[in-house]
Chains A and B, each alone.
Chain A
């Protein structure tokens, strides 16, 4: 079974950086890492291929400057190869533009039984890319998967809902988005890290994919950031060291608020 996993390489969320005042987008001139949300999809894909007893996991990513730091992490976990799209014309791409590029890159990656994504990235948080990619590829999709099993040509998913979860089935090929925590991502082994250095990364541009540069990036966005401003701040409150009576301050405060 072959699985394609969409992975995003993002600035370290622990140091999220700042917005470029000219382009009004996140500055991305830092080293990028694999979005932790995507590590769950990579792990799930590896386990599904293992269970199937054959096939491989291919990664698809879009990043500036041919950045591969995050891809190497996922390759070290066990993915076989990757397609990386880098092109100056991609700067400023919104979720729809990103999806157009990912859909073409997934087609380039070859026949897949499943396409797996995270539910959303940890930097953009738009949460629409999985369905957009599925629609562009004409695939059925099941978002917010908390477990996935493949049985012949059918994928069975437990899908998170507001009330609990649904069992959902779909014929393959299909696109599935996985929630964080769906599996425990493995740590790359030393052997895996060494092997990842020589795994193939197919570095392509928009013209390689046959994507018109006018339909993505700033040119194709159909939206414009018109203002960035500081949000109303909360006033800082009282912060006290616990001297053994900290709990009492909470009790008093709750009483003051008439909660108790």
Chain B
């Protein structure tokens, strides 16, 4: 089954389209006859979006220094009310994407299906697949009304096209209506946090630490091991909440979803929200002193032991190689 038309909200940084956008374009191409994009990135992403299957790109202007939620949702709602409505809209679970989806859902009085990791046909309608209980159970939800189906898609749910080959997409401006008070928040400064080594999103190896490390200073072991393996350091929600490491380190349902070749969990028990974020890793190594810890149910190699003994020995052994 295919639907007639799907829109993908395309995000880009410095003219480079986000990986999640390309993933959604690949899925949209399987589901719909026509795939079009909405973006605030301007005309310069039309070639890349077209290569990945978009036939048209609607560009929304006027975002300079503003948050995109009110602007993009207003533009899309205006198009839908004007008769140019897609059957479904795919939006990434990102900071901006969630804002767009929330505002748009009110404007269209249409529900959002969140945390979607797959979109399938059920009884002639598109259904979103959402993992619950740490990814052990999948819930399939379809829209029942005639509203535009808004799906908030989790990163790394689909594979982007390996050899994109389409023509550049045609572009068309899409105007946002009058925002009034809702558009009053303004960005006054942007800060890029310097990070060394690979990012959590792209790293082939991720080393994460959790509450089992005992104290903040011990997170150094995670960073040392990560450095030796060319890995990205990550963290469980527990130690992010405790303020040991920044929010950007968080792996899990509320943080980053990672799918590296190797994931090393040090002192992480494996709460359901963490498992959702990392169980797609190809190989999982866990170190934890509690033999009953849920992390061992997903680990390919589990070491039941004291992280304060295993980690230093591991680091030393790797240094000596």
Binding site for B on A (CB under 8 A): 13, 16, 19, 24, 36, 94-96, 99, 119-120, 122, 125-132, 134-136, 138-144, 146, 159-171, 174, 179-181, 184, 221-231, 233-234, 236-242, 244, 246-251, 253-254, 257, 259-260
Contacts and interface: CB of A to CB of B under 8 A. Distances in A.
A113 to B, nearest CB: 14
B142 interface: yes
Contact of B301 (A119, A146, A253, A259): A253
Contacts of A142: 67, 185
B143 A143 contact: no
A141 B317 contact: no
11 contacts: A119-B254, A134-B103, A164-B191, A167-B187, A171-B184, A229-B140, A239-B291, A247-B317, A250-B285, A259-B229, A260-B321
Contacts of A229: 137-138, 140
B191 A131 contact: no
B58 interface: no
B63 interface: no
B268 interface: no
Contact of B139 (A119, A225, A253): A225
B193 interface: yes
A140 B183 contact: yes
Interface in B93-112: 93-95, 98-99, 101-103, 105-107, 109-112
Contacts of A99: 106
Contacts, number: 276
Contacts of B185: 140-142, 168-170, 174
A230 B144 contact: no
A96 B106 contact: yes
Given A226-B141, A228-B140, A126 B112 contact: yes
Nearest to A225: B141
B34 interface: no
A246 B303 contact: yes
Nearest to A173: B181
A46 to B, nearest CB: 18
A228 B127 CA distance: 12
B182 A259 contact: no
B247 A143 contact: no
A121 to B, nearest CB: 10
B196 interface: no
Nearest to A100: B106
B182 A139 contact: yes
B157 interface: no
Contact of A163 (B193, B272, B302): B193
Residue from A159, A169, A254 whose CB has the most chain B CB atoms within 10 Å: A254
